Amino acid sequence: MHEIALHNISYAYGNQRILENISFTAAAGEFVCLLGPSGCGKSTLLRLLAGLSQPSAGALTLDGRPISGPGLDRGVVFQDYSLFPWMTAGQNVVLALEQAFPGRAKAEQRETAQEYLEMVGLGTVFNKLPGALSGGMRQRAAIARAFAINSPVLLMDEPFGALDAITRARLQDLLIQLWQQNAAERKTVFFVTHDVEEAILLASRVVVMGLNPGSVRGVFTVDIPRPRQRQELFGNSAFVALRDRLISELHADVLDELDDGRTIRTEGEGI
């Protein structure tokens, strides 16, 4: 069981309220997408789940135990900075393996690292530095590392956000394939995105977040059988209905702000 529960989570930077009263439980093996507009606190929430910061109020638990700091029970993949740039792709994976399985022989660690790099189609890059790899390859290596340490929970913060559409689609498919591989030990995943279609393609459930302060607007089950074929999805009536629903939830936020009489300004626009 790898259930993650958020109990009335609030978070503030100084007196700026970022997250307010967030409650949600992800069942073991669920793939949860956190969907919301930029600035609604998705990354902040993921950092709380990672144990990198602590909530101002409320509690987070993994299998009923409080999350009080980072741990190897939660693998993390961020959009950038996922790999140490001064270590090769292979060394990055080996380092994580050494932390997760300290007693193992060096040769075994290298072998396992190579195995996981091969699993994500990176069999030839063990000795390459991240700087010599494309963005897509770096994220593959980060995924290989997250799966190699075999943590029951995976936290992903817009991991494909900086990639071109084709690479992104490939990595989405790869991620789902890896996640589905072992039904008995399926990871509980929290995946941050602001892309409605990505959320529906990947998620078992979508948590839609709203702004000012960040809160849960609604939780939606994605009732579309897997494998979800990208080409067929756009003609699927359940997909279309859910996409429309999620888009209107996201836009509702902006409409609420207009109702409040608050000014909406785009970034960089002068006062």
Q: Which residues bind ligand ADP (CB under 6 A)?
A: 13, 18, 36, 38-44
CB of 201 to ligand ADP, least distance (A): 20
CB of 16 to ligand ADP, least distance (A): 6
Is the Cβ of residue 41 or residue 55 nearer to ligand ADP in the bound state?
41
Residue 84 tokens, joined: 């140490």
Is the Cβ of residue 18 or residue 117 nearer to ligand ADP in the bound state?
18
Is the Cβ of residue 13 or residue 234 nearer to ligand ADP in the bound state?
13
Within the chain, where are the H helices? Answer: 42-50, 89-100, 106-119, 135-148, 165-181, 196-202, 230-233, 237-259
CB of 210 to ligand ADP, least distance (A): 10
Strands in 104-243 per DSSP E: 153-157, 188-193, 205-210, 215-221
Q: In what order do the strands lie in the sheet with 4-13?
A: 16-26, 4-13, 57-62, 65-66
Is the Cβ of residue 38 or residue 263 nearer to ligand ADP in the bound state?
38
**CA-based nearest residue to 165, from 133, 192, 197:** 197
CB of 45 to ligand ADP, least distance (A): 7
Is the Cβ of residue 36 or residue 152 nearer to ligand ADP in the bound state?
36
* Count of C-beta atoms within a 10 Å radius of residue 258: 10
* Count of C-beta atoms within a 10 Å radius of residue 269: 7
CB of 92 to ligand ADP, least distance (A): 24
CA-to-CA distance for 70 and 63, rounded, in angstroms?
A: 15
* Count of C-beta atoms within a 10 Å radius of residue 91: 18
